[in-house]
Amino acid sequence: MIDWLISTTPIFKAIHISGLAIWCGGLLILPFMLGRHDPAVVEADYRLIRRATHLTYTTCVTPAAVITVIAGTWLIFLRAAFSPWLFVKLALVALLVAVHVWVGRTLVKVAEQPGRHTPPGPYLPMAVILSLVIAILVLVFVKPALNWIVFPEWLLEPRDAQLTFEVPSR
């Protein structure tokens, strides 16, 4: 069973990278889509823009984020990658998730309060998202030692311990 899981590592990596591309691409385009929410446009056009933004967030960007996080978590344990750069990457991913939630919250506010709530300009959210994505990619490709960050020893190595409950076998 374990050998099969380890042999599927390239599949999880491909899923992780594909999900990341869709997630980050969607997060970069959503601030521009939110900027189109102008109550001054014709009601039919406003409804079309609102629906397109909502569908992009709920059917494309959010599932891609979930798939990316799940596949990335699997990769951490399959590859036993317990190094300082990974923990910094996970902190940046947590910030990216927070931005994702903020974009969703802004989307809901604009939809529920048309005319009373205007989204921020697209350039600041896009700059934050792009900065986080570039920082994550640099960490992944460079894999710096980051020896100046002190982590407890138990955090840097797999424990190889048994689970506290019985795992059913096939």
Residue 38 has pLDDT above 80, yes or no: no
110 and 117 in contact (C-beta within 8 Å)? yes
What does the pLDDT read at residue 162?
61
What does the pLDDT read at residue 170?
46
Residue 71 lies in a domain: yes
Residue 165 lies in a domain: no
Q: Given CA atoms 110, 69, 159, 142 in this order, what sign does their dihedral have? A: negative
- Residue 29 structure tokens: 């385009």
CA atoms within 13 A on the CB side of 103: 32
pTM of the model: 0.78
Block residue for tokens 């697209």 = 122
Residue 153 lies in a domain: no
Residue 159 lies in a domain: no
Task: Write the pLDDT tens digit of every residue in 102-123.
Answer: 999 888 887 777 666 666 777 8
Residue 117 lies in a domain: yes
Residue 132 lies in a domain: yes
Residue 72 lies in a domain: yes
Task: Write the pLDDT tens digit of every residue in 75-91.
Answer: 887 776 777 888 889 99
Q: Which domain holds residue 124?
A: 2-144
Task: Write the pLDDT tens digit of every residue in 132-155.
Answer: 999 999 998 988 887 777 777 766
Number of domains in the chain: 1
Residue 162 lies in a domain: no
* C-alpha to C-alpha distance for 68 and 18, rounded to whole angstroms: 8
